[in-house]
């Protein structure tokens, strides 16, 4: 079990209706170097650790599997499966975050699988920060830096201002930033979300670092900022475990064991 004493400090306060327990658990995994599989596996393992714990290891594993399957439709959900579930407005245990201004620690960002991309899942660890536009820029959009925790073999850029914790060294000389010693696995970083003028997401890049136009992925082929000069659309959803309505209804954070 990951020690709470090893927890990192979240990057911003979460509204009362966000599941900060999920982001705290993710940061515990990072602080304790608790390695998992990449992408969706990270979210699954964090849930198992912070939501459902039993001292009997054999029983714990069995309950983890059944609880995961109950809520997400699989004992080991893929990013594609999480995308479908977090997009489903009929489910009681999830809600959608449709405006970047409402993003908070404990929200989940899931990029769907496409014909050319396997998808990815991250746990958001703080509010989005409006930044000055950097390349790739897209007409009619705003850019936001979003702090995340995940497990990946691909660094979320090389930036001193918005670093990926998996680099062992980040140095800046003038306008040049150099990163060395990347280690795959769990860590923290930043992704960049593009929105329209009202804050509705229209696309993303993997990092908050200068990149080519093809590193921008619109949320759909018709979204603001889309075009033939950018990457193919990669739909994503930002979701939240549904909060309770009052102190007598804790909602779905943490996700209760179904039998409860």
- Answer whether 255's CB lies under 8 Å from 47's CB: yes
Single out the residue of 196, 190, 183, 197 nearest to residue 223, CA to CA. Answer: 196
Handedness of CA 220, 226, 230, 236 (dihedral sign): negative
Q: What is the pTM of this model?
A: 0.92
- Whether the pLDDT of residue 251 is over 90: the answer is no
pLDDT in tens, 50-91: 999 888 989 999 999 999 999 999 999 999 999 999 999 999
The alpha-helical segments, DSSP class H, found in the chain are 20-31, 40-51, 57-72, 79-87
Domain chopping of the chain, boundaries: 16-244
Q: What is the pLDDT of residue 5?
A: 30
Q: pLDDT tens digit string along 161-189?
A: 999 999 999 999 998 999 999 999 999 99
Q: pLDDT tens across 188-245, in order?
A: 999 999 999 999 999 999 999 999 999 999 999 999 999 999 999 999 999 999 887 6
When pLDDT is cut at 50, 70 and 90, the band that residue 159 belongs to is very high
Q: Which two tokens stand for residue 101?
A: 């201004």
């Amino acid at each position: 079990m990951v020690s709470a004493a090893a927890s990192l400090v979240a990057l911003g306060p979460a509204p009362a209706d966000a599941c900060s327990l999920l982001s705290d658990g993710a940061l515990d995994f990072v602080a304790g170097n608790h390695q998992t599989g990449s992408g969706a596996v990270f979210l699954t393992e964090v849930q198992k650790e912070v939501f459902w714990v039993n001292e009997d290891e054999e029983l714990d594993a069995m309950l983890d599997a059944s609880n995961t399957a109950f809520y997400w439709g699989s004992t080991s959900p893929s990013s594609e499966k999480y995308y479908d579930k977090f997009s489903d407005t009929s489910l009681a245990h999830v809600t959608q975050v449709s405006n970047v201004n409402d993003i908070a620690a404990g929200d989940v960002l899931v990029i769907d699988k496409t014909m050319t991309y396997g998808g990815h899942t991250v746990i958001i660890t703080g509010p989005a920060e409006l930044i000055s536009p950097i390349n790739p820029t897209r007409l009619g959009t705003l850019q936001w830096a979003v702090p995340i925790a995940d497990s990946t073999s691909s660094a979320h850029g090389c930036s001193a201002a918005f670093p990926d914790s998996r680099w062992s060294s980040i140095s800046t000389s003038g306008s040049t930033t150099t990163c060395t010693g990347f280690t795959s696995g769990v860590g923290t970083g930043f992704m960049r979300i593009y929105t329209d003028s009202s804050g509705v997401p229209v696309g993303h890049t993997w990092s908050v670092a200068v990149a080519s136009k093809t590193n921008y992925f619109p949320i759909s082929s018709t979204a603001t900022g889309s075009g033939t000069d950018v990457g193919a659309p990669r739909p994503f959803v930002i979701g939240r475990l549904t909060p309770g309505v009052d102190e007598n209804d804790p909602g779905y954070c943490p996700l209760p064991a179904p039998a409860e």
